[in-house]
Amino acid sequence: DADVTQTPRNRITKTGKRIMLECSQTKGHDRMYWYRQDPGLGLQLIYYSFDVKDINKGEISDGYSVSRQAQAKFSLSLESAIPNQTALYFCATSDRGRDTGELFFGEGSRLTVL
């Protein structure tokens, strides 16, 4: 089983709908992240959390919200989806104790907003 699991893996929805993407991890890492990937662009950070009580906005947080329900769970919500939120979304984790800050990614959630 994957150490970082995202659900759903694929979702097609309509403009204005509320969508939640869920991420859970078994790596025991404190830090969790949500990224968005669009063709031709680098990964863009949406939100990140360094522990359960710590939530921080990334570079493109508008239109998104998150919830850190537990150390192992970090959910991303789109309150009212719009077509330009069509993208591949990745959850990632990192271990505070590692010097490199290496990220471990989930398998991705492909979201299409019609």
Interface ranges with another protein (CB under 8 A): 40-45, 90, 100-108
Count CB-CB contacts under 10 A for residue 9.
12
Q: How far is the CB of 112 from another protein (least distance, A)?
A: 14
Q: How far is the CB of 16 from another protein (least distance, A)?
A: 28
The span from the CA of 7 to the CA of 11, in Å, is 9
Q: How far is the CB of 70 from another protein (least distance, A)?
A: 22
Q: How far is the CB of 80 from another protein (least distance, A)?
A: 27
Nearer to another protein, 62 or 101 (CB): 101
| Per-residue DSSP letter, 60 | T
Half-sphere exposure of residue 91: CA atoms within 13 angstroms, side-chain side = 30
The span from the CA of 113 to the CA of 41, in Å, is 19
Nearer to another protein, 50 or 65 (CB): 50
The answer to whether residues 4 and 104 touch, using CB atoms and an 8 Å cutoff, is yes
